[in-house]
Structure 1
Amino acid sequence: MKEELIDLLFKYKNAFATDKGPIGSIIGHEVEIILNVKNPYQPLLRIPAYPASSRAREALEVHIKELMDLGVLRKIRHN
Structure 2
Amino acid sequence: MSPTEMTLRWAVEKWLAPTLAMRAHVVRVRGTGMHRRCVCIETVLSGGLLSIFFFRHDDGSWNVYPPAPARPAMSGWRAV
Give me the TM-score of the superposition, normalised by structure 2.
0.20
Bigger RCO of structures 1 and 2 (CA < 8 A, at least 6 apart): 1
Mark the structure with the bigger radius of gyration.
Answer: 1
Q: In proportion to residue count, which structure has more strand?
A: 2
